[in-house]
């Protein structure tokens, strides 16, 4: 469905009815076409969000090169850093109560955040998507049971769930990246489950699935070859939005003291908790910078997710209107001559508002 619309939109913007030029980048172009043809606002927000995300990915990858000190380093050449020192040339973002450099912790914090969130999203995809496929496709008692459990998980205050899981796991796995990621995973599995299951249920009755079944395809084949591809389209948007949410959950865990311990890695939520005691004394730099980092990363991911939704979802998408350049008519000089070419308004449908 979306590829058809995309292809025609692509052709329309170039003002010809020729099929997309075959070449090396056909696939990439087809994927990117909705972005090119999107309206200005969603495109800008997409770029802005992607820019923010790329910035943090670079910070995370190049952390040792960018950060002047290690995340738990409180002295250099035998000289201890000042405690809660003002931002200055030595320490751009100042130092905190343990004399560590706030800037370095913010930079290393992006590494922790991305590690945890990436693993949490992968874990929940690996659990939620297959469970949703299975539940939606098989139906019956299994489906009803899974739906009940997932609904219960979904209804439960997510933060409480994450706290309790993190607390219980920390005894066995320690308070590291894996524990935090698993605690967050439990929160997001029900969402993937729901989305995938609901779309499986609507796809299941489509004629092409019926046809595959009638041809004698085994359930595994039907699921992997016919149902899966039509169902996963909503997953990227959800995954991006969940990643944003996961950053917040990780920070909340850290803030409450159930996240990653300060000796293991730098984590923004923990830093904010320590900064709370500073706020009363008017020390603003220990809290402001980690907090801003959270806001910007979440903002970036949210913008990417929501504008992807605007751009990719055929129901929401509004294309920008473009001038159609008509192909020159053979008998353009005498306007009375009937043109053998395509009628001028032959631009394929689907342009403009759906």
Partner 1 sequence: MAKAQTTSLRSYALTRLGLVLPMVLILLTMVFVLMRVAPGDPISAALGGHLSAEQLAERRHAAGYDRPLVVQYLSYLGDAVRLDFGNSVTDNRPVTSIITQNGAATLELTLAALLVALVFGVTLGLVAGRLRDTPVDVAARLAGVLSYAAPVFFVGLLLQLLFGPMLGLLPTSGRASPGVTFALPTRTGLMVVDSLLAGDTYALSDVLRHLVLPAVTLGLLTGGVFLRLVRVNLLQTLRGDYVEAARARGIGERSVVVRHAFKNALVPVITVMGLQVALLLGGALLTEQTFNWPGIGAQLVHYLNNRDYIAVQGIITFFALVVVAISVLIDFVNAWIDPRVRYT
Among 160, 211, 337, 346, indicate the residue that binds partner 1 (CB under 8 A). Answer: 160
| Closest to 267 (Cα-Cα) out of 281, 247, 238, 295 | 247
H or E stretch at 75: strand 75-76
By CB under 8 A, tell whether 303 contacts partner 1: yes
Contact region for partner 1 (CB under 8 A) — 17-25, 196-204, 296-304, 330-338? 296-304
Interface of this chain with partner 1, residues 171 to 190, rule: CB under 8 A:
171-172
Q: 233: which DSSP letter?
A: G
Which two structure tokens, joined as six digits, stand for 248?
Answer: 């917040």
Cα(339)–Cα(346) distance, rounded to whole angstroms? 13
Among the listed ranges 118-126, 145-153, 202-210, 228-236, the one in contact with partner 1 (CB under 8 A) is 145-153
Distances (CA, A) of 68 to 47, 72, 276: 30, 12, 25
The span of 68-76, 130-138, 161-169, 199-207 binding partner 1 (CB under 8 A) equals 161-169
Q: Tell me the two tokens of residue 15.
A: 């003002």
Separation in Å, CA 154 to CA 4, 82, 148, 250, 296? 36, 46, 10, 18, 27
93 contacts partner 1 (rule: CB under 8 A): no
Among the listed residues 27, 281, 335, 336, the single contact to partner 1 using CB under 8 A: 281
> Of the two residues 146 and 209, which places its CB atom closer to partner 1 in the complex?
146
Unique residue bearing structure tokens 């005691």: 277
- CB of 31: closest distance to partner 1 in angstroms? 26
User: Does residue 50 touch partner 1 according to CB under 8 A?
Assistant: no
Among 17, 201, 217, 248, binds partner 1 (CB under 8 A): 248
How far apart (Å, rounded) are the C-alpha atoms in residues 309 and 311?
A: 5
Cβ pair 186, 233 in contact under 8 A: no
| Residue 173: CB minimum distance to partner 1, A | 12
Binding site for partner 1 (CB under 8 A): 41, 148-149, 151-153, 155-160, 163-165, 167-168, 171-172, 244, 248, 251-252, 255-257, 269, 272-273, 275-276, 279-282, 284, 287-288, 291, 294-296, 298-299, 302-303, 306
């Amino acid at each position: 469905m979306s590829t058809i619309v995309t292809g025609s939109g692509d052709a329309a913007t170039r003002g010809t009815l020729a099929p997309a030029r075959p070449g090396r980048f056909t696939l990439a172009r087809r994927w990117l076409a909705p972005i090119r043809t999107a309206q200005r606002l969603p495109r800008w927000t997409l770029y802005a969000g992607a820019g923010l995300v790329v910035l943090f990915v670079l910070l995370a990858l190049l952390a040792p090169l960018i950060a002047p000190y290690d995340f738990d380093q409180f002295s250099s050449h035998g000289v201890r850093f000042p405690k809660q020192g003002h931002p200055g040339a030595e320490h751009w973002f100042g130092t905190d109560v343990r004399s560590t450099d706030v800037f370095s912790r913010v930079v290393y914090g992006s590494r922790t955040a991305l590690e945890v969130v990436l693993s949490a999203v992968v874990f929940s995809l690996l659990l939620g998507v297959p469970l949703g496929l299975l539940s939606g496709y098989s139906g019956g008692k299994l489906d009803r049971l899974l739906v009940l459990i997932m609904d219960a998980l979904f209804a439960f205050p997510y933060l409480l769930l994450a706290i309790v899981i993190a607390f219980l796991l920390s005894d066995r796995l320690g308070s590291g990246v894996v524990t935090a990621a698993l605690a967050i995973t439990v929160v997001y599995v029900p969402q993937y489950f729901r989305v995938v299951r609901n779309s499986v249920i609507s796809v299941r009755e489509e004629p092409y699935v019926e046809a595959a079944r009638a041809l004698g395809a085994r359930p595994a084949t039907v699921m992997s070859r016919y149902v899966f591809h039509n169902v996963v389209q909503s997953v990227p948007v959800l995954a991006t939005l969940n990643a944003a949410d996961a950053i917040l959950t990780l920070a909340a865990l850290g803030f409450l003291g159930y996240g990653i311990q300060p000796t293991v890695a730098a984590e923004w939520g923990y830093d904010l908790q320590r900064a709370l005691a500073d706020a009363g004394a008017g020390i603003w730099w220990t809290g402001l910078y980690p907090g801003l980092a959270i806001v910007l990363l979440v903002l970036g991911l949210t913008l990417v997710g929501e504008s992807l939704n605007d751009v990719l979802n055929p129901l929401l998408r509004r294309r920008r209107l473009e001038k159609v350049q008509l192909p020159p008519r053979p008998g353009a000089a005498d306007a009375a001559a009937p043109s053998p070419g395509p009628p001028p308004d032959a631009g394929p449908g689907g342009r403009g508002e759906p």
